[in-house]
Structure 1
């Protein structure tokens, strides 16, 4: 019986193999293009979903109530996507393309119009050509991030001394929550995404590598957010180019060029333009590295021709493996050397920050003689700074000191960046200039700075003196275990001052035009593999002297109520000028709910107060809940 069944199956198989079907097979209808075994294009997708719930409740507000007393919203009103879909593809002809599709918050209340699906950075296309002379890559389309040299194109990067309590949307997820704090303890760096340290350009990009005689090149011509025309219909372009030679593994020589121009009148050919040439040298000897960039630039517009100006950046640093790694920086950037895409602040020409609606306010940086941290150069300034690191068991210490002076006298004003409550205050009134009851606050992207007027002026409105700046920064990082749980403590102390005379150390007495002292402490505790508790405390004190703005309080106040109560007259003074005190306390939770999904909770209580400027009083709390899912 079994034998007969096997013979029957073999007969049917052979019959179907050698016969033709009477009814041909047809695929069911589909509007999709049929897939082939070797497709001409490969496409991949990635992205994230990010929900941000935000609540702010203010118990004390400015008289004009800038920012609502109670805010309950989805998102913190910055233009950052709730949903981002990254599309990347590559054709068989080696042409790659990519696009970032985004949707802003869907939870904005009733609306007759649906929330559109738009492009975040546009559609980019690129290709590469390999020849016997090298590999050439071309890219064009939407917005891309570009970096060249510190004097030409470079993002605002400093020494990464900061509080890491707050998160930014572009901050990627870690494998486990505690790794964010572990990485900061080990290296002092936090990954803020591809844009960190770079500038946004839209145009045509060129890159050449493996060229003869160890040369390489790159460049771009297009548009940036900087040096925009006053009229959106007017032309403005920025182009830059780099040619690098690497004779050996320990030496590099680089030439950089940048040119930027913008039409400023729709009825004439008047332009605002500047150009820059620089040479870079990079040399390593055993455990020592020397980096230097020399530059020559020129700025002109219809009302002024600043002529040529020089710039030099010199870094001398030892290897990290040294017992006490040292990084010394010397720089000089003349007031005629103007650029708003480099790694330094422009204080010479305000017009390169146009007040184009929705553009000028977002890129405006501290302009009037800013007090800045170490590693942040400013034009019309020269100086030297030294930074060092040392490790003592599980305690890591790093710090630096800097002395700087103006090259020429400048505007009779100062500006300082708030180290404490900076992000909190910026969320009250986004990208606004000269706001607050005394028109002194200016909001930037997740930060805020304040302007100070100086009374000791000339007839032309300039200060009667050159300004001198001093800075000290000190950071301590410690890791240990308690009840078997890892914890990390980060402490950051910063002291800045500006005065009329040269000093080695920052000044805090009457001789300082402005002195600023801040202390920030972060604590993170690894409760489990999926859970990390975080805490943060910050306090900031800003003092002015008689040459700066005077408040509207009828009585002078003590610079330290603590020392006043103790009767220690030598440790405080009475003043009618700035006597600000900012305070911040926050706690939160980082929780991993899946391999690519995390929840972040942050709650903080803040106060911004000055007894001499009666209307300068803000007090309240914020709560932020972030859900981020990568795919």
Structure 2
């Protein structure tokens, strides 16, 4: 604790020195880039052409202010780039540059580029009324947020010739814990990435290999559930940049707090990716082989299945993921697949396929494997966008009788010019046997299909059973519809989403929902991925809560089940309503932002027009208010208020003390500030008060507060 002021002083000195350095003289035109390989003409099979307007004399300036495609397979998101433009010296070029500089840049090697950031994250908490068995960790103070986010990151980009390039990232993790501590680590964050591009008369071809790449194929194969402006941005993500009020303007306009952030759009992939575009007939292809996160060892993290988190998951020290290395690498686990597509102008049709397997025993041929095959399209006509995907999957394991499962989704987006309000309508059906760990569909409803047969809840899972979802969040064993619309008036924007779905078959007797208001703070207390863990971290006096990456969910047991087998007797209907409200105004000639997020969800025995808390299995509602006030050009005050309520129905577990189902209330109050010390340096402070109680289950209560201080410097 006594060393923190010294650390802050040194870091602040570094930031001032870095910020004072003047960028080399050059042209004012900048390139807006999302990833470093774009700067070096790396990843895309159709690389951009740099016009002569960005060249001024002997200097090419590249604005790398967006997120970089660099990260860890388990939890590292793309790292935002430096706020100052990088200057690459082309003094060896001739003074007279050709009008078209595309070939010049492609053929000439570029110098080695080195940049990075320093991120000091100080964390402290005081749980005044903790859950049982947390002692002696009611109070905890640490350097680092417990995730695999480096304190010092140095990225090296190089291009040895006009057709290939490489990138790697070195990181230093928690150097303030002493020379003998195992967490004092200097290592590669990504491995070494290689990129190549080859333009031929037959088409454009690209290759990516090694390291970690951010990659998508299609929503049902390799994809991520996409949602904008439906999550609070009060708590910063570790991969955010130094952006001041730009963050809040962007969130108001587009719903993106960190434009270019690849974590929310792509899956982490390690291996080999080949792609081709602009082939004869408009044909394109992708082919890949390697590992996604599920192939990296999250399921079955320990070779000894009896080893789990000490104390039933109630350990509470400041967590670290460094020792969570997954199962032995001697057991093969890979994924492969590809895509064949054809473009018709702005329209696209594609066939997609993936095959994933994990060897269960080194002495036998037993495998847990699944395959997914789909066709998808994207069409535009008269301003209307229509997209869809149709496919099937087959899950196979020694303990499961293999069956094919179907998945179908059709979505239309109609602009306001065609209707009174813009409309986004989605229809879908996903069978109970459809399974894929890498797509955007939640596939935890069928208890026969499990990522880890030895665990009721596998490490990393964000829910089990019938999940209370947001609008447009898909889950298998459901048929449903989602509708979104929005409008804008003066300084305000509003959005409404509505969803209704029903189970195709009563496969599960469990429900689950996310604790949104204080979930991030709880996940810092109860490590989602502790050393030698086999299953998800389970905690709380009743053992109903589970920790995952930056969140917590709760498991609910229903009681209308077969008395002999314990299986569910009735299908459930799922309802969702999401509300958003955003206001951007001026107060004393300074920017003022107010954001509201409301979400309602329920599981009922019959279909209803709206989520409701009577005649229900489970009803959950969330209300979150964010306030951001600009005090000076570089200083902003931040505020947060969150309210959460979850109520169980008569067909859920009852309290022995009160004889009533759960009735939970959670509150979160936060204050803080963003201080932009220099164009490349920011200081961010957040202080949160949190409390939770279940009025029906007296033991289920906690209260406390946490404080975080983040200093981020791009160098």
TM-score by length of 2: 0.77
Residue of structure 2 aligned with 1:532, choices 617, 624, 636:
636
What is aligned with 1:568? none
- Once the two structures are superposed, residues 557-609 of structure 1 have per-residue CA deviations (whole angstroms, 9 ceiling, x without a partner) of xxxxxxxxxxxxxxxxxxx1101000000011011001111111101100011
**The residue matched to 1:486 in structure 2 has which SS?**
strand
Aligned residues: 571
Matched, 1:153 2:233: no
Q: What CA distance in whole angstroms lies between the structure 2 residues aligned with 1:126 and 1:505?
A: 50
What is aligned with 1:285? 381
Q: What CA distance in whole angstroms lies between the structure 1 residues aligned with 2:181 and 2:377?
A: 59
Contact 1:57 1:622 survives alignment (8 Å): yes
CA change 1:77–1:350 in 2 (3 A) is: farther
**The residue matched to 1:117 in structure 2 has which SS?**
strand
Kindly report which structure 2 residues correspond to 1:186-225, keeping only aligned pairs within 5 A, or say none.
Answer: 186-191=253-258, 193-225=261-293
What is aligned with 2:451? 353
Q: CA deviation at 1:523?
A: 0.7
Q: CA deviation at 1:546?
A: 2.3
**The residue matched to 2:249 in structure 1 has which SS?**
helix
Q: What CA distance in whole angstroms lies between the structure 2 residues aligned with 1:263 and 1:371?
A: 33
Kindly report which structure 2 residues correspond to 1:334-349, keeping only aligned pairs within 5 A, or say none.
Answer: 334-347=431-444, 348=446
**The residue matched to 2:522 in structure 1 has which SS?**
helix
Residue of structure 2 aligned with 1:273, choices 365, 369, 382:
369
Q: What CA distance in whole angstroms lies between the structure 1 residues aligned with 2:471 and 2:136?
A: 32
Say which is worse superposed, 320-329 or 67-76, in terms of deviation: 320-329
Q: What CA distance in whole angstroms lies between the structure 2 residues aligned with 1:552 and 1:43?
A: 67
Residue of structure 2 aligned with 1:124, choices 179, 187, 193:
193
Kindly report which structure 2 residues correspond to 1:73-472, keeping only aligned pairs within 5 A, or say none.
Answer: 73-92=142-161, 94-108=163-177, 111=180, 115-174=184-243, 177-191=244-258, 193-227=261-295, 228=297, 230=300, 231-232=327-328, 233-249=330-346, 251-319=347-415, 324-347=421-444, 348=446, 352-354=450-452, 362-431=459-528, 432-458=536-562, 459-472=564-577
TM-score by length of 1: 0.87
Q: CA deviation at 1:351?
A: 5.8
Contact 1:67 1:428 survives alignment (8 Å): no
Q: What CA distance in whole angstroms lies between the structure 1 residues aligned with 2:686 and 2:622?
A: 21
What is aligned with 2:132? 63
What is aligned with 1:584? 668
Q: What CA distance in whole angstroms lies between the structure 1 residues aligned with 2:415 and 2:283?
A: 26
Contact 1:362 1:445 survives alignment (8 Å): no
Q: What CA distance in whole angstroms lies between the structure 2 residues aligned with 1:601 and 1:423?
A: 16
Q: What CA distance in whole angstroms lies between the structure 1 residues aligned with 2:385 and 2:213?
A: 31
**The residue matched to 2:671 in structure 1 has which SS?**
strand
CA change 1:303–1:151 in 2 (3 A) is: same
**The residue matched to 1:306 in structure 2 has which SS?**
coil
Contact 1:159 1:374 survives alignment (8 Å): no
CA change 1:441–1:486 in 2 (3 A) is: same
Q: What CA distance in whole angstroms lies between the structure 1 residues aligned with 2:136 and 2:369?
A: 38
Residue of structure 2 aligned with 1:519, choices 613, 616, 623:
623
Structure 1: gaps of 5 or more residues: 1-35, 557-575
Contact 1:225 1:363 survives alignment (8 Å): no
CA change 1:474–1:41 in 2 (3 A) is: closer
Structure number having the greater strand percentage: 1
Q: CA deviation at 1:195?
A: 2.3
Q: What CA distance in whole angstroms lies between the structure 2 residues aligned with 1:282 and 1:131?
A: 27
Contact 1:486 1:526 survives alignment (8 Å): yes
Q: CA deviation at 1:115?
A: 2.4
**The residue matched to 1:593 in structure 2 has which SS?**
strand
Say which is worse superposed, 322-331 or 292-301, in terms of deviation: 322-331
Contact 1:159 1:375 survives alignment (8 Å): no
**The residue matched to 2:211 in structure 1 has which SS?**
strand
**The residue matched to 1:426 in structure 2 has which SS?**
helix
Q: What CA distance in whole angstroms lies between the structure 2 residues aligned with 1:182 and 1:113?
A: 41
CA change 1:579–1:114 in 2 (3 A) is: closer
Structure 2: gaps of 5 or more residues: 1-90, 94-107, 301-326, 529-535
Matched, 1:629 2:710: no
Q: What CA distance in whole angstroms lies between the structure 2 residues aligned with 1:451 and 1:112?
A: 37
CA change 1:195–1:168 in 2 (3 A) is: same
Q: What CA distance in whole angstroms lies between the structure 2 residues aligned with 1:419 and 1:114?
A: 30
What is aligned with 1:599? 683
Say which is worse superposed, 109-118 or 577-586, in terms of deviation: 109-118
CA change 1:534–1:204 in 2 (3 A) is: same
Q: What CA distance in whole angstroms lies between the structure 2 residues aligned with 1:386 and 1:170?
A: 32
Q: What CA distance in whole angstroms lies between the structure 1 residues aligned with 2:195 and 2:546?
A: 39
Q: CA deviation at 1:629?
A: 0.8
